[in-house]
Amino acid sequence: MIMASKSGLLNSHGLDTEIARLEALLADLLRLRRGEHPSPAELAMAPSIDQWIVVERKVPSLVGLIQGHPHIPQLRLSQTSDVEVINEARGYARTRSRLYALGLRQGETAPEDRQ
């Protein structure tokens, strides 16, 4: 996840690294869709893993009351997909699937309610 600084600046190196990682993943997925699987030579050069199992792990995501989502009813408490970029200073988060406008954090009140 790429997190912006408090002033809203994004780390260009972090973005470049993430873009390269995602481009490589996309290239591999497109190759697999075409029916092209890793060659024996590619597998011989790849790291190997023994005694493996599939597990689930925690990834950064947002939980909150979502509005305007095409598949989630209004104001339903829901969890987003993996957060890729979050920029509180500029009011947005980009998850794996879509852009979100950030509203109030949990426990925050609107400025007009703070009197």
**Span 60-88, pLDDT tens digits:** 999 999 999 988 888 888 999 999 999 99
Q: Is residue 42 pLDDT above 90, yes or no?
A: yes
Q: How many domains are contained in the chain? A: 1
Q: How far is CA 9 from CA 60, 81, 84, 103, in A?
A: 20, 23, 15, 19
Q: How many helices (H) and strands (E) does the chain have?
A: 2, 6
Look over the chain and give the mean of its residue pLDDT values, rounded to a whole number: 90
pLDDT, residue 55, reads 85
Q: With contact defined as beta carbons under 8 Å apart, do 83 and 60 qualify? A: yes
d(CA 43, CA 47): 8
**90 in any annotated domain:** yes
pLDDT, residue 40, reads 94
**49 in any annotated domain:** no
User: Could you tell me which residue, 97 or 113, shows the higher pLDDT?
Assistant: 97
Residue 14 belongs to what domain range?
2-44+58-113
Q: With contact defined as beta carbons under 8 Å apart, do 87 and 8 qualify? A: yes
**53 in any annotated domain:** no
**52 in any annotated domain:** no
**Span 96-108, pLDDT tens digits:** 989 999 999 999 8
Q: Is residue 115 pLDDT above 70, yes or no?
A: no
pLDDT band of residue 114 (cuts 50, 70, 90) is low
pLDDT, residue 63, reads 94
pTM, two decimals, is 0.73
How many CA atoms within 13 Å lie on the side-chain side of 24?
6
d(CA 90, CA 7): 8
Bridge-based pairing state of the strands 63-66 and 76-79: antiparallel
